[in-house]
Structure 1
Amino acid sequence: MIADRISQDLSGKKSQNDGGIKEYTHDPESFIGEKPSDSTMTQETFGVKDFAIPDGTFWGWMCVFSYFMTSFICWGGNTAFSIYLSNYLQHNTFHASAVDYAAIGGLAFGIGFVFAPVNTYLVGITSANFVVFLAGLFQFVALFTSSYCKEIWQLYLGQGILMGFGLALVSTPIPVIIPQWFEKYRSRALLLGASGTGLGGIMFNLAIQKIIEEWGVAWARRIQSFMVISVCTVCSLLIRTRNEKIKPEFKPLDTKILFSFPFIVMLLWLMFTMLAYVTTQYSMTNSTVALGYTARQGSITIVLFNVGAIIGRPSTGVISDKFGPVTTATFIYFFASLLCFAMWIPARNLPTMYVFGIVIGFIAGFVLGALPAVVPRIVGLRKLQVAYGMAYSVLGASGVVSPVIGLSLRKHKEAPGQYTWVAMFAGLCFFMSGFWALVLRAYIIAKDKLTGFKNPDLGEDVQTKVPMAMVIENLFTVRHKQKV
């Protein structure tokens, strides 16, 4: 009788949505007896065959591979700027101040992301494949022309602005494709791809230094430029989307999403996370040197930071798939805050800095891989591209100002604790990141209870109004029927 009732509900409530995908709806309360468990409440339970996520396949894993390789060659390669920077300072190449170099690093990290909604629109009118190739072309031009720079303004244009747009373009299309291919293992697929940044950070920081010693800075940049364009070209040929099934939107802006409570909370989580993450990453080497150690010993700290990222991102992806990305983010960033206050501030020796580097590297970059898994939990898969583009604008703005803030908070050079205020700033920002992740988690739990645990990927509950009292009530809810 129960099976007949369920079959009748699923077959009798067929509807046609405005995207042209056939969907079925049902009220979870209509089930007689025991409701389906979390593991059975999949796309098929809801009867949405066209929308069903395959959880892998050859092309799905090719997208993960492309994400890994572009993270390796682009973001990992961008960390080599610290090696070039050391050489520029040593030889006073551009007669510039440390603030100039910090600003250039910030531009490279975030200026392109400020225009992420435009990148999203570009993907819509062209294709993800074209945008990935274009990203490689931007970075090729940035690196190649930087090898001929003689003035600081030229470095601003090349290493700063052009590189920034190239990094943003490569980061816009690929991460949002992966949720189309993975459901159960979504977080681990995303964070496995994002772990390429850590491996690239290690490889490039070691290799570029050797190339500079053998052939000089100019040839190091030219070799890196050809590596970037080659890898991005191959990856642009490997990625595939499921847009014909998902029917995603590519609008540069959606005001209903932008001014919604959960999206604003997510932006606050993202902003504080990036302020802390970038400030910490850019301060690791110099913070070690400030304790009286050599530049080479200081460089090992950032290498260990990247080692932590290689191990940590796939590991936290497994944890995220088990407990949910927002829940995982809450615990991770509260713990990161504790590390800053308990380890970084009182650190006065090399082993402490090394341990701090590897542990903070293990967890701090979780947001970069987890964001494409968090956004569908709020807006669904169809609006993922739009929301992701708007969110990356905040990420970019935070990345631009973080290095300058970190540099401004340093004390005078003679003080062994000159990075105390930097560590306090990072610790407070990590704490606020954990707090806003906790609020977002409470909102999602409250929404699930109101809507009857609908499949979030469908985006049917985007406009649900959740009373603030319910959000506060669920702040410390431990167990929930769906992963958050």
Structure 2
Amino acid sequence: MDPTQERDAKYDGDYIHTEHGDEESRSSTSKQELSIETDVPPDGGYGWVIVACVFWLQVNTWGINGSYGVFLSYYLTNNDFPNTSSLAFAFVGGLAIGCAYLMAPVTVCLIRKYGTHVVLVSGIVVQSAGLVAASFATRTYQLFLTQGLCFGVGMGLIYMSYLGIPPQWFERKRSIANAIPAAGAGTGGVIYSLAIQAMIERLGLPWTFRTLALVSLAANLVSAAFLRDRNKATESRHTAFNFPLLKNFEFVLLLGWAVFSTFGFVAINFSLPNFAISVGLTAHQSSIIGALHNLGQGVGRPLIGLMSDRLGRLNIATVLSLMCGVFCFAIWIPARSMAVVSLFATIGGMVSGTFFATVAPVFVEIVGLQDLPGALSLLWLVLVGPGATGEAVAQALRRPAAGEAAYKQVQIFSGMVYVAAALCLWVVRGWKVRQCRMEETRQTPVEEKECETVVVTLEPRDGRTLWHPLGMGRDMVRWCCV
């Protein structure tokens, strides 16, 4: 038998073909590695259609949610829902985020059973139904059930269905392919922040909700029609809860980065419009501030992805998380005029969403592509708390009687959590650098790979652990493109 026939025979022995044409592995370890090696992501082609679809799905899900600051400012300055506290209104927006995150394990199970498109379309219908129902709300609890619970569940089903798809289509350009769709949240926030304020003034609150429902329904259904996943090609393991990952300290630190980043992002994103009013700006100017913050996200997230692919995903995510904390202290706290508030809204928006622009590529660096669905389901479950309570915490820290300094404690809180997020990720970066350096010493010239592609846990030959304090300290300050 010649080498070609021998190789073909080996491959035929490794896999069986089901009646549906899917390849199933006979061995859970070595054969999966063989499949991963033979599958090469297109790194372009139809992948860019996928990026465009996910971008518009982001526009019409998180873009609408990102405009909740306009709704919040309206609720706080009008009496449409009498005897309702600012904390209760804050929980409406937080509930939507919390429900979206809570849908992660549910979505993973549903996709495994019914497929991506069934779950995606179901989420689109539920989200639109929530907005329509909100247009008939006359009491606060009805807002919780519609704009909070129903809208959040639909948004979660949509988001968790498409989140892991762009990384399946790219390898070298994975960060930019993830960051462009992430920019959809900012782009949608710009569009909807300005549109919602104008619609409320001209059409009233009920018809604003109905218009949002119809527009988002149409746009999301068109995007869903062109979306395609590569779950079979990548052999993604759709495990609802991959609890063994919690045994890895580096994964726990990633969750810390996510929790702190979410607290900071929600507090800034929802508080900025009302903060603008607290320093003497008008309602129209406050909607512009909200739009500028979303514009910053729309511009910044693709740039973050581009820099991440060139300079390292962990490097960029760490530095920009720290920069956002610095901006909170250096620009937001002293901001009193429209110009300075606009400056913070724009440049703060460019970096405040660093987590959302880099979450999938960063997690792939640590856990690998196969375990990404399970890792993300754990992540979103952990983020239910900060997502649901982030703005409530901000409203609890707000001091309306303090006048222009009403949001000072919120500003300090936001800055501190972003600094904490950067510290968590800095330690993970040191772990990754150390892992890469140890792997390089074990590779032969033929086996050498780029530093950033190493995603397996290693056992160093000399008995040292990856978490050796002195070695970690050196590698945390050592340059490496990770």
TM range (shorter): 0.7 to 0.9
Partner of 2:58: 71
Equivalences for 1:101-112 in 2 at 5 Å? 101-112=89-100
Residue 247 of structure 1 and its aligned partner are, at CA, apart by 0.5
1:92 to 2:79 alignment: yes
Cα 1:335–1:459, aligned 2, differ >3 Å: closer, same or farther?
Answer: closer
Matches within 5 A, 1:167-206: 167-206=155-194
Q: Take 1:63 and 1:227, find their aligned partners in 2: how far apart are those partners?
A: 21
Choose 205-214 or 217-226, whichever is displaced more.
205-214
Which whole-Å CA distance do the structure 2 matches of 1:385 and 1:463 have between them? 25
Query: Alpha carbon RMSD of aligned pairs, Å?
Result: 2.5
Q: 1:22 to 1:120 in 2, by over 3 A?
A: closer
- The CA distance in 2 between the partners of 1:215 and 1:321, in whole Å, is 45
Query: 1:397-445 deviations in whole A, cap 9, x for unaligned?
Result: 2111110111111123343212111111111111111111101101111
More moved, 71-80 vs 399-408: 71-80
Residues 70 and 287 of structure 2 are in contact (CA less than 8 Å); yes or no, is this contact kept in structure 1?
Answer: no
Find 2:457's aligned residue among 456, 461, 472: 461
Which of 305, 308, 327 lines up with 1:317 in the alignment? Answer: 305
Deviations 1:228-282 (A, max 9, x none): 2222222222111222221111111122112311110100011111111111111
**SS of equivalent to 1:108:** helix
Q: Take 2:209 and 2:252, find their aligned partners in 1: how far apart are those partners?
A: 40
Structure 1: which 5+ residue stretches go unaligned? 1-9, 25-46
| Matching residue's letter, 1:332 | L
Contact 2:175–2:361 (Cα < 8 Å) also in 1: yes
After TM superposition, the structure 1 stretch with the greater mean CA deviation from structure 2, 429-438 or 462-471, is 462-471
Residue 111 of structure 2: aligned partner:
123
Question: Corresponding residue for 1:32?
Answer: none
CA contact (8 A) 2:66 2:186 kept: no
Listed as ranges, the matches of 1:133-144 within 5 Å are 133-144=121-132
| Equivalent residues of 2:127, 2:151 under 8 A apart | yes
CA displacement at 1:115 relative to structure 2: 3.9
Report the TM-score when normalising by structure 1.
0.87
Aligned equivalent of 2:391: 403
Relative distance call for 1:396 and 1:22 in structure 2 (3 A) is closer
| Structure-2 change in CA distance of 1:458 and 1:167 (3 Å) | farther
Kindly provide the amino acid, as one letter, of the partner of residue 330 in structure 2: A
The answer for the alignment partner of 1:211 in structure 2 is 199
The aligned counterpart of 2:19 is none
Measured after TM superposition, the shift of residue 318 of structure 1 is 0.7
Are 1:297 and 2:298 an aligned pair?
Answer: no
Q: Secondary structure in 1 aligned to 2:340?
A: helix
Aligned twin of 2:317: 329
- For residues 430 and 89 of structure 1, the distance between their equivalents in structure 2, rounded to whole angstroms, comes to 27
Q: CA deviation at 1:145?
A: 0.7
- The 2-side partners of 1:262 and 1:80 are apart by 34
Partners of 1:448 and 1:454 within 8 A in 2: no
Matched, 1:52 2:35: no
- Of residues 429, 434, 437, the one that matches 2:422 is 434
- 1:5 alignment counterpart: none
Residue 145 of structure 2 aligns with an amino acid whose one-letter code is L
Name the structure 1 match of 2:250: 262
For 1:358, the aligned partner's letter is T
Q: Distance between the aligned counterparts of 1:175 and 1:449, measured in 2?
A: 31
Inter-CA distance 67–147: structure 2 relative to 1 (3 Å threshold): same
Quote the residue 2:241 is aligned against.
253
In 2, the alpha carbon distance for the partners of 1:305 and 1:87 equals 18
| Cα displacement (A) at 1:458 | 8.1
* Counterpart for residue 343 of structure 1: 331
- 2:475 corresponds to: 474
Say whether residues 1:82 and 2:69 are aligned partners.
yes
Asked if 2 retains the 8 angstrom alpha-carbon contact of 1:274 and 1:399, the reply is yes
In the alignment, which residue of structure 2 is the partner of 1:362? 350
More off after superposition, 459-468 vs 335-344: 459-468
Moved more, 188-197 or 295-304: 295-304
- Report the 3-state secondary structure (helix = DSSP H, G, I; strand = E; otherwise coil) of the residue aligned with 2:401: coil
Q: Which of 28, 32, 42 is 1:18 aligned to?
A: 28
Deviation readout 1:103-144 (Å, 9 max, x if unpaired): 111111222313412222222212122222111111111101
CA contact (8 A) 1:331 1:434 kept: yes
- Supply the distance in 1 between the matched residues of 2:136 and 2:206 (Cα, whole angstroms): 7
Q: Please name the residue that 1:4 is paired with.
A: none
Distance (whole Å) between structure 2 residues aligned to residue 112 and residue 410 of structure 1: 26
Q: CA deviation at 1:97?
A: 1.4
Alpha-carbon distance change, 401 to 384 in structure 1, aligned in 2, over 3 angstroms: same
Which position in structure 1 is the counterpart of 2:222? Answer: 234
Residues 379, 462 of structure 1: CA spacing in aligned structure 2 closer, same or farther, 3 A cutoff? farther
Structure 2, unmatched stretches of 5+, are 1-6, 15-26, 441-447
Given that residues 63 and 192 in structure 2 are in contact (C-alpha distance below 8 angstroms), is that contact kept between their aligned partners in structure 1? Answer: yes
8 Å contact kept, 2:54–2:162: yes
The percent of aligned pairs where both chains have the same amino acid is 28
Deviation at 1:289, TM superposition (A): 1.7
Contact 2:304 2:357 (8 Å CA) reproduced? no
CA contact 1:19–1:247 (8 Å) conserved in 2: no
Using a 3 Å threshold, how does the CA distance of structure 1 residues 48 and 271 change in structure 2: closer, same or farther? closer
Letter in 1 for 2:217: I
Counterpart secondary structure, 1:416: helix
Q: Single out whichever of 218-227 and 352-361 deviates more from structure 2.
A: 218-227
Residues 177 and 20 of structure 1: CA distance in aligned 2, closer, same or farther (over 3 Å)? farther
Q: Which amino acid aligns with 1:68?
A: F
* Contact 2:53/2:227 (8 A) holds in 1: yes
* 8 A Cα contact 1:113 1:397, kept in partner: no
**Structure 1 position 49, deviation (Å):** 4.7
Deviation at 1:211, TM superposition (A): 2.6
Aligned length in residues = 448
Moved more, 444-453 or 232-241: 444-453
Which of residues 278, 286, 291 in structure 1 aligns to 2:266? 278
Q: Give the equivalent residue in structure 1 for 2:49.
A: 62
Which whole-Å CA distance do the structure 2 matches of 1:245 and 1:68 have between them?
23
**Deviation of residue 64 (structure 1)?**
0.7
Q: Secondary structure at the match of 2:172?
A: coil
2:66 and 2:270 in contact (8 A); partners too? no
